[in-house]
């Protein structure tokens, strides 16, 4: 450990996160979670504890690291219901990092985020801080999706094995090879049950040039800016929803009250439908949102208007805070904001994995939200 | 036989006498520092006003915000040991990690983590480290801590380690009160642990307070049993509160909503409790308040008590009405309890929501002549604003699109229009003492909320039946009549993201109190 490692980046390019940045990231990651992705609260507590102990969380742009640098992504896997009772030990991610370095007999240079939406935005930051590594400012989804094979890294050809899965007891499991990403997902789910319902999983390292080419860029700076915009607008008593739209090229497509709500679990995932009755400029209109862990399809008066992988975000009309699928309830007044997803999620190859058909809507074609040059102010 | 309900609030102590379904009398007295004299005054007043024979009182039910206020004001809390069984899990998040610094300091920040705990399917996570518990006991003696709170990972599935820890602590520190988290909270470690710690630190206050209530009753010559209302609108025997003060935390809004239901005979409604500064709005379903699904903040600490889903807005009888460039605003600033001196209709100089209600002929308090000179456009605009605020929060609290009535209670409910959107507004008699009425009619409950492993032939159906039997057993043990028990909540939730072999089940039953004949 003591020998000096040659850095593949310039330390002057690192941005060190503050407590305020973490507060903003919690909100921003919630917005990009499009209703899913899990609650970042416990991850934030772990990050704050790490900061108190003197660890630093640092962000690095993907074009400021050498192309052959090795980057590893990491995420939590398991049941959120178990996670709120049996808390993580805190160093599972660090053990994944060390086990991976042993396995490939090479040091990891930087960490990568799989999913900026929800809890997995903060988990890898803690690992990076404990391991003394920078966090690359990008992710594999630009939002939240329910399964591992749905990252741009996997979609564009990176195989996520060999991977390492560590639990709080100290067990480390290596998946040396999976014949497909779906097989990897399936085996990891079986393993996490034996490990007590929660673990951290690190996937096969990637070279930085691949991450730069296929990662969704600037995820952390975007998520933090989104959270900051909400906090600032609330302080200034301005409209936080307008602030969110202005930043992400999004638009407020509906104002409505939840007039019906159906939810159930199917194959371990939360599935359902929301109906909205419009108010303000939407009075007289109705809308529907289909849920599968995340918000997937938005319909106005029965017509499909926005679909996955574009982002459908529900925000509390008054506070601008994101609403997750567990928080939905009859009578809530929500603003629906549509945000265009990154072009990397819109290719034919990506749509096979994350388009409407991949979630069981073969009859719906993805029609991309047009990019907004300027909001008609 | 009669039932007496008492509500001990921060400012007022209210009391009512009920005979069957009718309210014989309702009175208000001031809350006092010693609690006893305020309760005694309210009891004497209400007995006099109703003219009843005090020997025929079957039971006294007391609702109180005393313990909630202690946490919010950071008063009367003891230093306690906070022991968690679960290492290596949670190593990075010690007890009280998400508490405000001042509150953590007040309870002494004595957090301990030792090996122990269970997995979701009942396997042992780590064997209990009994030597560590003995060492902690030594520390408790050395520091002179007043109580201990013990929280074990998945104690909802198996409470053996929490019980064993209590046993060791009490062997080592005879007489030390030990709170076990399985008796206090539900699934969700940090929130349950926080509740257990707060409970431990309130034990001596609880003891003093229950003694004060008992003294007031004895002084009033009342010898029947007395009960205290808990968060869900049901009762605990007074002595149980000495051990579980936190279970009263949300009884205030619960009692006012249950009282509203009783006074009107309506079981499904939206209840608006309009005070001087704020209005609390919640939904009644089958006569009980709808519960919040998310965590509830008490004095800055996240807890997962089942509490009514109450939404508060800054609108009350004393809310300031201000004419600004961008339109009329009402609240959130308020003259509060000074409305009877400061409002224009009472001869004061501040324009309040009450003045607007009087000027629009909606209410008849104070002197109408004093508000006659108000600008009629301003009055109309303010009234419109008040109606819009009430309508928005009532809409937010509705459970479904089925029209239900709106019940207005509280001193400020003169602000309420006769209709809100498509809903009819009802103002019951005795609306000002709805809290005490809610206490008087409280029932007894039993509850189970834990994760069941579906193994060894246990199916979802048999697990549901097991959970219900447990809940019934708890209700009967708490004093409910077995033949009156009914299930009011039953839900099961398969654990998401895991193949289906475990499910979390929550069942609650309620029934009438057994000791009717005193």
For chains A and B, CB pairs below 8 A equal 125
**Do A268 and B497 make contact, defined as CB atoms within 8 angstroms?**
yes
pLDDT tens digit sequence for A1-59: 445 568 999 999 999 999 999 999 999 999 999 988 877 888 899 999 999 999 999 99
* Sign of the torsion formed by the C-alpha atoms of A347, A350, A354 and A356: positive
- CA of B295: which chain A residue's CA is closest? A327
Q: In A, which residues are within 8 Å of B291 by CB distance?
A: none
- CA of A90: which chain B residue's CA is closest? B92
* Other C-beta atoms lying within 10 Å of the C-beta of residue B180: 19
CA–CA separation, B241 and A211 (whole Å): 59
- Stretch A171-191: mean pLDDT: 93
Residues A145 and A282 both lie in one domain:
no
Boundary of a domain, candidates A219, A235, A269: A219
**Do B92 and A88 make contact, defined as CB atoms within 8 angstroms?**
yes
Q: In A, which residues are within 8 Å of B153 by CB distance?
A: 85-87
CA–CA separation, B483 and B444 (whole Å): 13
Residues A269 and A212 both lie in one domain:
no
Q: What is the pLDDT of residue A268?
A: 59
- Name A21's Cβ contacts closer than 8 Å, sequence gap at least 6: A224
Q: For residue A197, give Cα distances in angstroms to A168, A220, B124, B167.
A: 11, 28, 14, 30
Residues A130 and A190 both lie in one domain:
yes
Residue B230 has pLDDT above 70, yes or no: yes
Q: Are B441 and B18 in contact (CB under 8 A)?
A: yes
CA–CA separation, B80 and B100 (whole Å): 16
Q: What is the pLDDT of residue B293?
A: 61
Q: For residue A253, give Cα distances in angstroms to A315, B447, B458.
A: 12, 43, 48
Comparing CA positions, the residue from A47, A74, A41 lying closest to residue A326 is A41
* Other C-beta atoms lying within 10 Å of the C-beta of residue B337: 16
Residues A180 and A329 both lie in one domain:
no
Chain A interface includes B504 (CB < 8 A)? yes
* Other C-beta atoms lying within 10 Å of the C-beta of residue B429: 9
**Do B93 and A46 make contact, defined as CB atoms within 8 angstroms?**
yes
Does A110 reside within a domain? yes
Each domain of chain B, given as residue ranges in start order, spans 1-76+203-249, 80-201, 312-433, 443-511
Does A367 reside within a domain? no
**Do A86 and B120 make contact, defined as CB atoms within 8 angstroms?**
yes
From the list B93, B293, B451, the residue facing A49 with the nearest CB is B93
Residues A195 and A253 both lie in one domain:
no
CA–CA separation, B431 and B405 (whole Å): 15
Question: Which residues of A sit within 8 Å Cβ distance of B?
Answer: 42, 45-46, 49-50, 77-82, 84-91, 168-170, 189-190, 192-193, 196-197, 257, 259-260, 265, 268-270, 326-327, 329-333
Q: What is the pLDDT of residue B337?
A: 67
Residue A352 has pLDDT above 50, yes or no: yes
Residues A211 and A295 both lie in one domain:
no
**Do B120 and A82 make contact, defined as CB atoms within 8 angstroms?**
yes
Residues A145 and A264 both lie in one domain:
no
Averaged pLDDT of chain A: 91
Name the pLDDT band for A213 (thresholds 50, 70, 90): very high
Torsion on CA atoms A304, A305, A309, A315, rounded to nearest 10: -110
**Do A265 and B493 make contact, defined as CB atoms within 8 angstroms?**
yes
Comparing CA positions, the residue from B226, B235, B320, B276 lying closest to residue B414 is B276
Residue B369 has pLDDT above 70, yes or no: yes
From the list B187, B400, B494, the residue facing A265 with the nearest CB is B494
CA–CA separation, B380 and A44 (whole Å): 48
Chain A interface includes B90 (CB < 8 A)? yes
Does A27 reside within a domain? yes
Q: What is the pLDDT of residue B422?
A: 85
Residues A129 and A34 both lie in one domain:
yes
Residues A258 and A214 both lie in one domain:
no
Q: The tokens of A223 are what?
A: 């998520």
Residue B232 has pLDDT above 60, yes or no: yes
Q: For residue B420, give Cα distances in angstroms to A249, A262, B382, B392.
A: 38, 27, 16, 9
Q: The tokens of B246 are what?
A: 């936190």
**Do B187 and A84 make contact, defined as CB atoms within 8 angstroms?**
yes
Q: What is the pLDDT of residue A319?
A: 80
Higher pLDDT, A4 or B87: B87
Angle between helix A240-248 and A219-235 (nearest 10): 150
- CA of B154: which chain A residue's CA is closest? A85
Task: Provide the shortest C-alpha distance from residue A343 to chain B (in Å).
Answer: 29
Judged by average pLDDT, the poorest of A301-310, B44-53, B311-320 is: B311-320
- CA of B89: which chain A residue's CA is closest? A89
The CATH number of the domain holding residue A265 is 2.40.390.10
Residue B173 has pLDDT above 80, yes or no: yes
Does A214 reside within a domain? yes
Q: What is the pLDDT of residue B481?
A: 86
Q: What is the ipTM of this complex?
A: 0.85
Tally the residues of chain A: 377
**Do A333 and B496 make contact, defined as CB atoms within 8 angstroms?**
no
Task: Provide the shortest C-alpha distance from residue B129 to chain A (in Å).
Answer: 16
pLDDT tens digit sequence for A105-134: 999 999 999 999 998 999 999 999 999 999
SS3 B331: strand
The CATH number of the domain holding residue A42 is 3.40.1610.10
Q: Are A323 and A37 in contact (CB under 8 A)?
A: no
Residues A214 and A265 both lie in one domain:
no
Q: Give the ranges where A282-373 is alpha helix by DSSP (H).
A: 348-354
Pairing of strands B2-8, B12-19: antiparallel
From the list B190, B395, B499, the residue facing A331 with the nearest CB is B395
Please compute, for residue A40, the number of CA atoms within 13 A of its CA located in the half-sphere on the CB side. 33
From the list A87, A169, A260, the residue facing B189 with the nearest CB is A87
- Stretch A363-370: mean pLDDT: 92
SS3 A106: coil
Q: In A, which residues are within 8 Å of B495 by CB distance?
A: 79, 81-82, 197
CA–CA separation, B217 and B225 (whole Å): 10
SS3 B150: strand
Q: For residue B491, give Cα distances in angstroms to A80, B11, B482.
A: 18, 38, 22
Strands, DSSP E only, in B305-410?
311-313, 319-324, 327-334, 406-409
Q: Which of B90, B92, B308, B312 to mutate to test the interface with A (most CBs of A within 10 A)?
A: B92
Task: Provide the shortest C-alpha distance from residue B313 to chain A (in Å).
Answer: 12
Q: The tokens of A342 are what?
A: 């990154």
Q: Are B195 and B185 in contact (CB under 8 A)?
A: yes
Higher pLDDT, A266 or B423: B423
- Stretch B332-350: mean pLDDT: 86
Chain A interface includes B286 (CB < 8 A)? no
- CA of A81: which chain B residue's CA is closest? B495
Q: In B, which residues are within 8 Å of A49 by CB distance?
A: 92-93, 97
Q: For residue A288, give Cα distances in angstroms to A241, B250, B299, B349, B515.
A: 20, 35, 38, 51, 52
Task: Provide the shortest C-alpha distance from residue A146 to chain B (in Å).
Answer: 9
Chain B segment 168-197 residues within 8 A of A by beta carbon are: 187-190
Q: Which of A55, A85, A92, A169 to mutate to test the interface with B (most CBs of B within 10 A)?
A: A85
Chain B segment 392-431 residues within 8 A of A by beta carbon are: 392, 395-401
Task: Provide the shortest C-alpha distance from residue B90 to chain A (in Å).
Answer: 5
Q: What is the pLDDT of residue B40?
A: 95
**Do A49 and B97 make contact, defined as CB atoms within 8 angstroms?**
yes
Domain ranges, residue A266: 245-359
Q: In B, which residues are within 8 Å of A192 by CB distance?
A: 498
SS3 B146: coil
Q: Are A288 and A308 in contact (CB under 8 A)?
A: no
Q: Are B515 and B484 in contact (CB under 8 A)?
A: no
Q: What is the pLDDT of residue B506?
A: 82
Q: What is the pLDDT of residue B494?
A: 66
Please compute, for residue A377, the number of CA atoms within 13 A of its CA located in the half-sphere on the CB side. 6
% of chain B residues with pLDDT over 70? 96
Q: What is the pLDDT of residue A374?
A: 42
- The model carries a pTM of 0.84
CA–CA separation, B495 and A80 (whole Å): 8
Angle between helix A41-52 and A19-32 (nearest 10): 160
Tally the residues of chain B: 518
Q: The tokens of B283 are what?
A: 């939904």
% of chain A residues with pLDDT over 90? 74
Comparing CA positions, the residue from A72, A136, A143 lying closest to residue A344 is A143
SS3 B45: helix
Comparing CA positions, the residue from B57, B1, B47, B54 lying closest to residue B25 is B47
% of chain B residues with pLDDT over 90? 50
**Do A269 and B496 make contact, defined as CB atoms within 8 angstroms?**
yes
Task: Provide the shortest C-alpha distance from residue B392 to chain A (in Å).
Answer: 9
Provide the 8-state DSSP code for A65.
Answer: B
CA–CA separation, B456 and B454 (whole Å): 7
Number of domains in chain A: 2
- CA of A276: which chain B residue's CA is closest? B401
Residue B499 has pLDDT above 70, yes or no: no
Q: For residue A134, give Cα distances in angstroms to A66, A70, A197, A214, B131.
A: 13, 12, 29, 19, 41
Does A224 reside within a domain? no
Name the pLDDT band for B286 (thresholds 50, 70, 90): confident
- CA of B124: which chain A residue's CA is closest? A196
Comparing CA positions, the residue from B509, B501, B514, B513 lying closest to residue B468 is B509
DSSP string, B398-466: -SSSS---EEEESGGGGG--SEETTEEEE--TTGGGHHHHHHHT-BEEEEEEEEEE--TT--HHHHHHH
Task: Provide the shortest C-alpha distance from residue B410 to chain A (in Å).
Answer: 24
- Name B49's Cβ contacts closer than 8 Å, sequence gap at least 6: B17, B24, B25, B26, B27
Q: For residue A35, give Cα distances in angstroms to A30, A296, A337.
A: 8, 9, 12
B517: phi then psi, degrees, rounded to nearest 5? -95, 0
From the list B90, B120, B493, the residue facing A87 with the nearest CB is B90
From the list A90, A270, A332, the residue facing B91 with the nearest CB is A90
Residues A180 and A258 both lie in one domain:
no
Strands, DSSP E only, in B279-405?
279-285, 288-289, 296-298, 301-303, 311-313, 319-324, 327-334
SS3 B117: coil
**Do B86 and A49 make contact, defined as CB atoms within 8 angstroms?**
no
Residue B244 has pLDDT above 90, yes or no: yes
Does A364 reside within a domain? no
Instruction: Give the rounded distance of the alpha carbon of B270 from its chain centre.
Output: 18
Q: Are A228 and A312 in contact (CB under 8 A)?
A: no
Highest average pLDDT, of A279-293, B59-73, B482-496, comes from: A279-293
Task: Provide the shortest C-alpha distance from residue A243 to chain B (in Å).
Answer: 21
Provide the 8-state DSSP code for A376.
Answer: -
CA–CA separation, A129 and A32 (whole Å): 23
Provide the 8-state DSSP code for B350.
Answer: B
- Stretch B216-227: mean pLDDT: 92
Q: The tokens of B431 are what?
A: 């609306």
Averaged pLDDT of chain B: 88
CA–CA separation, A353 and A358 (whole Å): 6
Provide the 8-state DSSP code for B480.
Answer: B
Residues A171 and A43 both lie in one domain:
yes
SS3 A238: coil
Q: The tokens of B412 are what?
A: 């400020």
The continuous run of DSSP H or E covering A49 comes out as: helix A41-52
**Hey, what CATH class is B1-76+203-249 in?**
alpha beta
Q: Which of B422, B496, B500 to mutate to test the interface with A (most CBs of A within 10 A)?
A: B496
Largest separation between any pair of C-alpha atoms in chain B = 79
**Do A189 and B90 make contact, defined as CB atoms within 8 angstroms?**
no
Does A368 reside within a domain? no
**Do A332 and B294 make contact, defined as CB atoms within 8 angstroms?**
no
Does A77 reside within a domain? yes
Higher pLDDT, A55 or B413: A55
């Amino acid at each position: 450990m003591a020998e000096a490692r040659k850095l593949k980046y310039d330390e002057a390019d690192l941005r060190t996160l503050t407590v305020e940045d973490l507060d903003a990231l919690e909100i921003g990651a919630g917005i990009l979670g499009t209703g899913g992705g899990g609650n970042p609260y416990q991850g934030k507590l772990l990050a704050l504890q790490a900061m108190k102990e003197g660890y630093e969380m640092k962000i690095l742009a993907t074009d400021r690291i050498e192309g052959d640098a090795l980057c590893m992504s990491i995420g939590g896997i398991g049941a959120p219901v178990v996670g709120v009772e049996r808390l993580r030990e805190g160093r599972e991610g660090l053990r994944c990092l060390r086990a991976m370095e042993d396995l490939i007999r090479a040091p990891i240079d930087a960490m990568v985020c799989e999913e900026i939406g929800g809890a997995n935005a903060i988990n890898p930051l803690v690992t990076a801080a404990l391991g003394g590594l920078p966090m690359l400012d990008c992710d594999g989804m630009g939002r939240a999706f329910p399964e591992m094979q749905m990252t741009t890294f996997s979609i564009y050809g990176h195989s996520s094995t060999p991977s390492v899965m560590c639990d709080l007891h100290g067990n480390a499991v290596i998946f040396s090879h999976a014949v497909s990403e779906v097989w990897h997902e399936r085996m990891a789910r079986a393993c996490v049950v034996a490990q007590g319902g929660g673990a951290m999983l690190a996937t096969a390292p990637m070279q930085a040039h691949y991450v730069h080419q296929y990662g969704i860029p600037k995820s952390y700076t975007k998520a933090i800016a989104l959270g900051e915009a909400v906090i600032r607008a609330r302080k200034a008593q301005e409209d936080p929803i307008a602030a969110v739209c202005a930043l992400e090229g999004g638009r407020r497509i509906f104002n409505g009250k939840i007039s019906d709500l159906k939810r159930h679990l199917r194959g371990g995932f939360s599935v359902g439908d929301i109906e909205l009755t419009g108010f303000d400029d939407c009075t007289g209109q109705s809308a529907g949102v289909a849920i599968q862990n995340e918000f997937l399809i938005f319909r106005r008066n029965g017509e499909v208007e926005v679909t996955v992988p574009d982002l459908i975000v529900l925000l509390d009309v008054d506070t601008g805070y994101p609403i997750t699928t567990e928080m939905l309830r009859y009578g809530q007044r929500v603003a629906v904001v549509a945000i265009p997803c990154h072009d990397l999620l819109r290719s034919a190859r990506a749509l096979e994995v994350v388009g409407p058909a991949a979630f069981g809507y073969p009859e719906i074609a993805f029609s991309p939200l047009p990019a907004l040059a300027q909001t008609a102010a | 036989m009669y039932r007496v309900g008492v509500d001990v609030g921060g400012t007022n102590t209210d009391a009512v006498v009920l005979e069957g379904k009718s309210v014989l009398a309702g009175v208000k007295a001031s809350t006092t520092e010693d609690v006893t004299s305020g309760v005694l005054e309210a009891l004497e007043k209400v007995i006099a006003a109703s003219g009843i024979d005090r020997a025929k009182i079957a039971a006294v039910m007391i609702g109180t915000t005393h313990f909630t206020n202690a946490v919010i004001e950071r008063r009367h809390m003891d230093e306690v040991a906070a022991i968690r069984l679960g290492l290596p899990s949670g190593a990075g998040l010690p007890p009280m990690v998400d508490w405000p610094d001042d509150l953590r300091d007040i309870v002494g920040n004595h957090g301990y983590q030792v090996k122990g705990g269970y997995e979701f399917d009942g396997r042992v996570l780590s064997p209990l480290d009994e030597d560590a518990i003995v060492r902690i006991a030594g520390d408790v003696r050395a520091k002179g801590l007043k109580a201990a709170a013990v929280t074990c990972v998945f104690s909802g599935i198996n409470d053996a380690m929490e019980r064993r820890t209590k046993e060791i602590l009490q062997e080592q520190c005879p007489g030390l009160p030990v709170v076990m988290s399985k008796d206090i909270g539900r699934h969700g470690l940090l929130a349950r642990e926080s509740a257990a710690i707060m409970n431990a630190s309130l034990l001596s206050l609880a003891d003093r307070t229950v003694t004060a209530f008992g003294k007031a009753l004895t002084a009033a010559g009342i010898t029947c049993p007395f009960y205290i209302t808990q968060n869900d609108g049901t009762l605990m025997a007074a002595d149980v509160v000495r051990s579980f003060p936190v279970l009263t935390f949300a009884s205030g809004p619960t009692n006012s909503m249950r009282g509203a239901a009783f006074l009107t005979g309506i079981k499904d409604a939206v209840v608006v409790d309009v005070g001087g500064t704020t209005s609390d709005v919640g939904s009644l379903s089958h006569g009980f308040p709808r519960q919040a699904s998310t965590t509830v903040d008490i004095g800055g600490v996240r807890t997962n008590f089942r509490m009514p889903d109450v939404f508060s807005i800054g609108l009350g009888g004393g809310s300031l009405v201000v004419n600004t460039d961008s339109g009329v605003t009402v609240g959130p600033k308020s003259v509060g309890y000074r409305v009877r001196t400061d409002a224009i209709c009472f001869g004061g100089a501040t324009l309040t929501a009450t003045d607007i209600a009087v000027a629009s002929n909606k209410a008849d308090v104070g002197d109408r002549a004093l508000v006659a000179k108000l600008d009629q456009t301003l009055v109309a605009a303010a009234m419109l604003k008040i109606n819009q605020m009430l309508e928005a929060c009532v809409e937010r609290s509705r459970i479904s699109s089925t029209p239900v009535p709106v019940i207005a209670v509280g001193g400020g409910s003169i602000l309420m229009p006769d209709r809100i959107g498509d809903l009819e507004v009802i103002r019951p008699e005795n609306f000002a003492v709805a809290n005490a009425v809610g206490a008087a009619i409280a029932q007894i409950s039993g509850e189970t909320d834990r994760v069941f492993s579906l193994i060894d032939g246990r199916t979802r159906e048999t697990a549901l039946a097991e959970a219900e039997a447990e809940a019934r057993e708890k209700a009967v043990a708490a004093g409910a009549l077995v033949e009156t028990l009914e299930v009011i909540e039953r839900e099961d939730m398969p654990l998401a993201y895991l193949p289906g072999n475990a499910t979390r089940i929550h069942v609650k039953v309620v029934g009438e109190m057994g000791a009717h004949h005193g």
